[in-house]
Amino acid sequence: MYKFEMPERKADMEVNKPDPYPLLSEGMKRVVDYQAEHSKDAFDTNCTWTELREKYIRERKFWNEGGPKPHKVVNTEVEGPIGPVPVRIYYPDDKPGRNALVFIHGGGFTVGNNDTHDRMMRAIMESGECVVIGVDYHLAPEAKFPIPLYESAAVIRYFHENAEKYDISPEQMAIGGDSGGANLALGANLYLRDAFGGNDYIAALLLYYGSYGMFDGYSWRLNGTALDGMTKADMLAYVSYYLEEGMADMENPYFSTLNNDLTYGMPATYLCCGELDPLLGDSRALHAILKSHGVCTKLEVIPGALHAFMHYGRMMDEAVHCLRESGEFYASVRRGK
């Protein structure tokens, strides 16, 4: 008789992914070519998290040059659960009572700060005609979940309760973020709803290519390579830095926010994601859920774009477009359109 047994093979979903380069938009190709020459391996997680942070800061410096100029920038701190949280406030002009958007930067909860996302925040300030408040939350692995979530919520509450001090409106605020920051933005909205008696002063969410709890699916199987630092191994590295040992919080509804009750307390939501992003399924799922519950929601899927494309406004018209569209979405919500 034949002897049947399983061959020894290591599971490797990466080998089935198509080469993304031929699928890139012209702008995305320019970005990737520039990175290959000037910042190769910037997103490689096969290093210490300290090295990863340093590489990320160096790579992002070029992309933050230029862009809209604020009337005024104020740096201050807000008291959080483990100490002060640095924040940066961008004012578009000297008009008092402007509406405010709290922006939570991405970087896999492990890298990034207000400097690495400076141009994005200035662009939203201009297109949204609003004050933008950047949150420099404590990073993992020193500060694990839920500390960054609590800090984000603390900053939002503080500016809602102290709006007059900063010449902003306490009503019709918005929360925005990219990648891990989008995860925190949605999580903070839900946490404010559940832990502090309501979030009716939040008028909009601007969520750029966020992770909301899907760690497999169509987009995961096809997208995410070394080009954007979004392989399965990369993502699991970020999650392992952020969540407690044993991944006990993986299904927590304030981390895997698709597990939460999204039938209420959800403001108008703008979503965008690249067509070649492994997190595209997260955005599609969230958009479909919100739409089914009657929430005003808009999803833009950008052809030929990788993860984190909205940093690259110096070379990609698509990034400029989404930053403009998202800011205008928030402005239109405020006008009741």
Give, in order, the Cα–Cα distances in Å from 26 to each of 22, 63, 215: 10, 17, 29
Catalytic residue chosen out of the listed positions 178, 228, 277, 282: 277
CB neighbour class for 315 (10 Å; exposed up to 12, middle 13-18, buried from 19): buried
Q: Which amino acid, residue 107?
A: G
> The tokens of 329 are what?
């979405």
Angle between helical axes of 26-38 and 317-334 (0-180°, round to 10) = 120
Instruction: Tell me if residue 179 is catalytic.
Output: yes
Instruction: Tell me if residue 105 is catalytic.
Output: no
Q: C-alpha angle 119/177/45, rounded to 5°?
A: 85
Name every residue whose Cβ is closer than 8 Å to that of residue 126 and which is 6 or more positions away in sequence. 68, 92, 327
Distance (Å, whole) CA 6 – CA 20: 32
CB 206 within 8 A of CB 124: yes
Give, in order, the Cα–Cα distances in Å from 303 to each of 46, 78, 137, 153, 316: 29, 39, 32, 33, 12
Instruction: Tell me if residue 127 is catalytic.
Output: no
Catalytic residue chosen out of the listed positions 138, 160, 287, 307: 307
Catalytic residue chosen out of the listed positions 152, 169, 179, 283: 179
Q: Which residues are catalytic?
A: 179, 277, 307
